[in-house]
Chains A and B, each alone.
Chain A
Amino acid sequence: MDERHFTTLSAEKYITSSCAISKGVVLKDGERLFENDGANAAAFMVSVYQHFQVSYPKFYKMDNLGKLGLLTSEILLKNSFNKEQYQPEKVGLVLANKNSSLDDDIKYWDSVKDIASPSLFVYTLPNIVIGEICIRNGFKGEHAFYIQQNFDADFIANQVNYLVDNDILDACICGWADFLEQEYKAVFFLVEKKTNGSSVVFSSGNMNNVFNK
């Protein structure tokens, strides 16, 4: 509620959807939609893909970070986002993580000892996950990927506020996507200038509430 005082000069922004995937659990808007705690990290990604009946064969070519980000965005947007309401140039992404593309970097480096793998090489950048989400959805707006020790909700909020308040974006997916070996965590927020039944005001506090759940 107090956040309203700080945003009176600019458009109100709301978190109209959130999705978190970590430790074998998928949460959408705080609700547990899927659980599979027996699987290893890579197998878990495939089980999420199958459970939610995502139909995008390119998924199988992606590195783990790409798979995690794609699945989180799919579940985030499903039944929550009407992309017809937006110009492709007005939908963007701001993501961050701790381990960059290290999960894939290590696999690539292992491959170099034998024959360097082109398919691993092309994922040795953290922001590829943003490209995958944009290609999947036809988004063409501004995007950025930051590498930070911890999820910094204030920083992310500043970035998104700047983009939306300056009319650079009308909708933004923001949050965290990190993958290293068996450890993975993604928490995405859909930020729009409108409310819906489950929306909360876009603020660092409300992002932290979801992130730390």
Chain B
Amino acid sequence: MSAPVYIVGLGVISGIGNNVAEHLASFEQAKAGMGDITTLNTIHKRQLPVAEVKLSNEQLVATTGLPERSSRTALLSYVAAREALDDAGIPNLNSLRVGFVSANTVGGMDKSEDFYVQFHADNNKGKLRNIFDHECGSMTEIVADQLGIGDFITTVSTACSSSANSIFYGARLIRNDMLDVVVAGGVDSLTKLTLNGFNTLMILDKEFCKPFDENRAGLNLGEGAGYVVMVSDKVRSMLAKQPYCVISGYNNSNDAYHQTASSPDGTGSYMAMKGALDKAGLQPSDIDYINLHGTGTLNNDSAEGTAIKRLFDPEYPPVSSTKSFTGHTLGASGGVEAVFSVLAIKNQIIYPNLRFETQMSELPFKPETRFMKNQHIKHVMSNSFGFGGNCTSLIFSAV
């Protein structure tokens, strides 16, 4: 039996709230975060709904104390990572080996886009400081500095499974006694790059998305950040509070099928879920809730659903896609949804899958549509499947 990895802190920001408490309230009130584009300067305003964080860059700068020129990616990351670390309340953090493993896919692209518009018009124009922090790794370094974490810092970027992989990696760092504390998760902010890219792929729903519905028409993009604080058994014993849960299983598998599509039978998704169960030493029937990847695209939900059918049939746990609230926060989604998965165990709740109407014809199950309290939730599976066939499943288990 390998050493347990405890989750002791949570932090999240998305289109439905700026912290954990606001998220729980939005879930209970069935309040989705999508709406017209307000902060992003794009020709798609009023055409494509997105789930923006309801804070301007100016407000985020004021909250975080980061410089005015900061990328929105770094700003969102810091808000959620700070909340997670404060929530953990680990005494004498400086005496421990602490790591920050943060994922993102856009880096400082929002600022690069500002630069490019000016530079494209006139090659002598454009502020170079706007592209200085273009790279994904810059976001992690800026936030680690502000958090005061310096023992170990790394950035994961594997499309929409990025944050799940950073949690996976962080858990291994603790399990192998390389670190005592890891803040792991990820962030992405909305940019023209991602909006135009997903629009090109023709997988954006012009209405609010309907994950796992027969008549789903695509995803809505979102933005946000989500982090968990993981600690070793030694650190847990120093804490006054009880841990929320352990991370008991994880697996990353690849479809090797297509650049941007899952294989029709969800081979990668199946292998990731099966591998995570094996790692945790659990049976499918042990899972009490699946937080779906559930983007709302024809391809994802069909592949993911087929894989779930293959693994779980004939007994299905409750499932739902919280992307029906937050939109698809891309590189942040694994971290955001890991926070939701841990909260499901902590508060014994299941989240509704909004706007669901018609069961998918090829699936014998449908998502939960009500906010359910007083549930018996011991083991939660969280799915994050990315472009390039990069599929990750995490399992969180009550202590």
Contact = CB atoms under 8 A, between A and B. Distances in A.
A9 interface: no
Interface string A4-16: 0000000000000
A126 to B, nearest CB: 13
A128 interface: yes
B257 A121 contact: no
Contacts of A123: 259
B256 A121 contact: no
Contact of A131 (B196, B200, B202, B259): B259
Contacts of A116: 196, 199-200
Contact of B259 (A122, A134, A138, A140): A122
A135 interface: yes
Interface residues on B, range: 10 to 19
Nearest to B388: A131
Interface string A99-134: 000000000000010001110011101001001001
Interface residues of A, number: 14
Nearest to B260: A122
A117 to B, nearest CB: 8
Interface string B189-224: 000000011011110000000000000000000000
Contacts of A128: 259
Nearest to B258: A122
Nearest to B199: A116
B295 to A, nearest CB: 16
A123 B201 CA distance: 12
A125 B259 CA distance: 10
A117 B202 CA distance: 9
A121 B199 CA distance: 11
Contacts of B202: 118
Interface string B248-267: 00000000111110000000
27 contacts: A112-B200, A116-B196, A116-B199, A116-B200, A117-B200, A118-B200, A118-B201, A118-B202, A118-B260, A121-B197, A121-B200, A121-B201, A122-B201, A122-B258, A122-B259, A122-B260, A123-B259, A125-B259, A128-B259, A131-B256, A131-B259, A131-B388, A134-B256, A135-B256, A135-B257, A138-B256, A140-B256
| The 6 nearest A-B residue pairs measured at CB | A116-B200, A122-B259, A121-B200, A118-B201, A135-B256, A122-B260
Interface of A: 112, 116-118, 121-123, 125, 128, 131, 134-135, 138, 140
Given A121-B197, A121-B201, A131-B259, 4 more contacts: A116-B196, A123-B259, A125-B259, A128-B259
